[in-house]
A and B are shown apart, each in its own frame.
Chain A
Amino acid sequence: MTGLALVAHQFRYDQKAFWRNPASVFFTVMFPVVLLLIFGTVFGGQTVDVRGGIKTTTYYVPAIITLSIISATMQSLAMSLVIAREDGRLKRGRGTPMPPSVFIAGRIGNSIVVALIMMALLALIGRVAYGVSIPWSQLPDVVLVLVVGAAAFACLGIALTAAIPSQDAAAPIVNALLLPLYFLSGVFIPDDQLPSGVIHFADAFPIRHFFEAFFDAYVPAAGGGAGVSWGNLAIVAIWGVVGLLLAVRFFRWTPRSG
């Protein structure tokens, strides 16, 4: 097998391993679902002063989908790759004729597919539980933003593994980076309650830009879709390219401990 066939082969096995792993299913799939249900239940019925006033749940559905995309890509890859690296599994794979780019492409593909599934799941829950309409007419835009963002955050997750020394350090490091940014970027706390200084600070990182791009694609503005927010999406893509370059330069196949 060569090229794409080999990537597809790798992807197939990565999918199996992902869905059978209770930890990945819990943190990547269940956690965003639970968050959406909590936010929707606690803050449902209120309005957010965004776009001239929308329902809280209309705000939280794309917000939690944003979180779930980052979780399925950056968080999940950073953690699972560090575990596989320290286990010696990456080293074993590197000893075969498999080209490293194939392995990485398979993993990125896997995380993008999980992100798509998460979007579908959360959009469905949003529709059924809170009446948040699914933006069928903007679907191509939504998927485009998702795929660009998912690929970018996947690259950032792979780059991040270089900064994680051990399996034990993986979860603390990833959470210490992501959790504060979810708060500061308006994912947990709506925009209208965040001071502008905070938003300016969050603008220095990719999560805020991705959230804005995804929100604009998912929630149609009154009188015609906001469509793709190209500026935000470009910044996310640049972060992804930087992540990819760092990953190519610093990614390790051999355990760091021992």
Chain B
Amino acid sequence: MQRRELLISAGTLLSAGAVWAAVRDLPAGAAPPGADAESRDFVEQICDIVIPDSDTPGARRAGVPVFFFLALAHGLAGTEAADLGRLREQLGTAAGKQVHKLDRQELQNLIAGIDAGAYQDKTSVWPRLKRVVIMGYYTSQIGASQELQYSPVPGRFDPDVPVTPTSRASSNDWVGQQF
């Protein structure tokens, strides 16, 4: 399976297992670095914590973990492949035990704490890793077209539209995405 096809299928994800099966099918040399079972589980949890399921699927079910590894392997948003290890180390130090021994609530609390302080800490890897989750989610088919409104051919411009309780942001407002 080619990488592009993999990502298309990731966007229409049915189950996380299907995605990881697809990752295993990547040609030699194309497998996401660091994608061992423990790392995959860790990233899936991060995705769930950053953007959880609600009335729409969250980041994990939208296939963001696959995008996440791809992004880190290629340096998207200033990331490096080693960033994941750095985050695990930071979390482990804060928790006083290894990350894989944390239960879900402990991990969520730790990440919430790191998130609250990371934007004043220039050395933290968290802002760029969270950015990758957000980028992956709102450009996935689920995030862009179920969670947000995706209108690839608007056909018109309405300059003044009331915001209603059901209004959803546009995922293809290209100007808004630059800021």
Q: Do A and B come from one complex?
A: no
Q: Which residues of B contact A (CB under 8 A)?
A: none
Q: Which residues of A contact B (CB under 8 A)?
A: none
